[in-house]
């Protein structure tokens, strides 16, 4: 599932090629993408819009238009945006939408599992949209302070891993980068979020940033479906310290990595470096 580093990699690739371009023709073939809005209505509304900025909020790709509207794309499990450097698009049974730009190139949206969403917002609706979804601070921006993270975790009995997954503490962190950040911070994933000390929260904040920055530097992680818009795989999967590595040695202490469940998701940690009952 694409997380902040994967979505940011897509954004970085798309922005210089899409900003300033006009959407000439839009075809949405999967009605699930725009539900409950009919796909033809969204397609018609998008045609003629000019992209002024491609941005990102958490795991959302945000296409901001000259009109003040914005299209929010969430890739969910297997969504992917394709914009080949040259040549047209190859045939693809999982293609859900195609946008023809005014430079003659096509941007395609592909989604095998079909959980991805496209939401078209009117001018001024963006802030409310994210507020309703209780999206937390952008972890790579200045607002993600130890104080902000402390407030987001205060009084919460949920395991810290689950708290990181629900987007309120830090927008864009998912299963992979939560496990990697907790390992870096030497925090057990099942520790109650509200039980972390000031020092531990400071460590966690730094660890979240470091894990995400590493993911961006490696252009994201390709476990199955994720590709950048030109079809290239990420390389972060070669850098995992704990994620998916049950039984392999912890890179820090050599203890075999263990797997548990937290927040309904497979969760990997080092039982030596990440104690449930820290001294
Ligand atoms: Zn260890």
Are the C-beta atoms of residues 266 and 275 closer than 8 Å to each other? no
Q: Measure the CA–CA gap between 152 and 169, rounded to whole angstroms.
A: 5
Paired with 73 in beta bridges are 61, 118
Helix (H, G, I), strand (E, B) or coil at 13: helix
pLDDT for residue 74 = 98
Are the C-beta atoms of residues 269 and 179 closer than 8 Å to each other? yes
Q: Measure the CA–CA gap between 125 and 64, rounded to whole angstroms.
A: 12
Kindly state the percentage of the chain with pLDDT values over 70: 100
Q: How far is the CA of 187 from the centre of ligand 1 (A)?
A: 11
Over range 244-254, report the average pLDDT.
98
Average pLDDT, the chain: 96
pTM surpassing 0.95? yes
Paired with 260 in beta bridges are 267
pLDDT for residue 277 = 86
Please report the sign of the dihedral spanned by the C-alpha atoms of residue 55, residue 61, residue 64, residue 70.
Answer: negative
Which two structure tokens, joined as six digits, stand for 119?
A: 């939401």
In the predicted structure, residue 279 carries a pLDDT above the cut 70:
no
Sorting pLDDT into bands at 50, 70 and 90, what band is 47? very high
Sorting pLDDT into bands at 50, 70 and 90, what band is 136? very high
Q: How far is the CA of 185 from the centre of ligand 1 (A)?
A: 11
Q: How far is the CA of 278 from the centre of ligand 1 (A)?
A: 14
> Which residues are the active-site residues?
2-3, 59, 265
| 5 DSSP 8-state letter | H
pLDDT-wise least confident of 85-94, 186-195, 255-264? 85-94
């Amino acid at each position: 599932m694409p997380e902040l580093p994967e979505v940011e990699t897509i954004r970085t690739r798309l922005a210089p090629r899409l900003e300033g371009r006009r959407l000439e023709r839009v075809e949405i073939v999967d009605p699930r993408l725009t539900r409950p809005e009919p796909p033809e209505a969204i397609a018609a509304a998008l045609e003629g819009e000019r992209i002024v900025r491609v941005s990102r909020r958490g795991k959302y790709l945000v296409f901001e238009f000259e009109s003040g509207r914005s299209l929010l794309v969430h890739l969910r499990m297997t969504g992917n945006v394709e914009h080949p450097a040259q040549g047209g698009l190859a045939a693809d049974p999982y293609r859900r939408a195609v946008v023809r730009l005014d430079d003659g190139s096509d941007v395609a949206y592909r989604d095998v599992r079909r959980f991805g969403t496209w939401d078209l917002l009117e001018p001024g609706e963006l802030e409310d949209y994210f507020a309703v979804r209780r999206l937390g601070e952008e972890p790579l921006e200045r607002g993600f302070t130890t104080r902000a993270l402390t407030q987001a975790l205060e009084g919460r009995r949920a395991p810290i891993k689950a708290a990181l997954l629900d987007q309120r503490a830090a927008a864009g962190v998912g299963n992979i980068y939560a496990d990697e950040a907790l390992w870096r911070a030497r925090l057990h994933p099942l520790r109650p979020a509200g039980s972390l000390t000031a020092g531990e929260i400071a460590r966690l904040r730094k660890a979240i940033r470091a894990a995400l920055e590493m993911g961006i530097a490696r252009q994201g992680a390709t476990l199955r479906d994720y590709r950048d818009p030109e079809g290239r795989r990420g390389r972060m999967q070669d850098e995992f310290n704990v994620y998916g590595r049950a039984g392999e040695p912890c890179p820090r202490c050599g203890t075999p990595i263990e797997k548990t469940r937290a927040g309904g998701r497979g969760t990997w940690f080092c039982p030596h470096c990440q104690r449930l009952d820290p001294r």
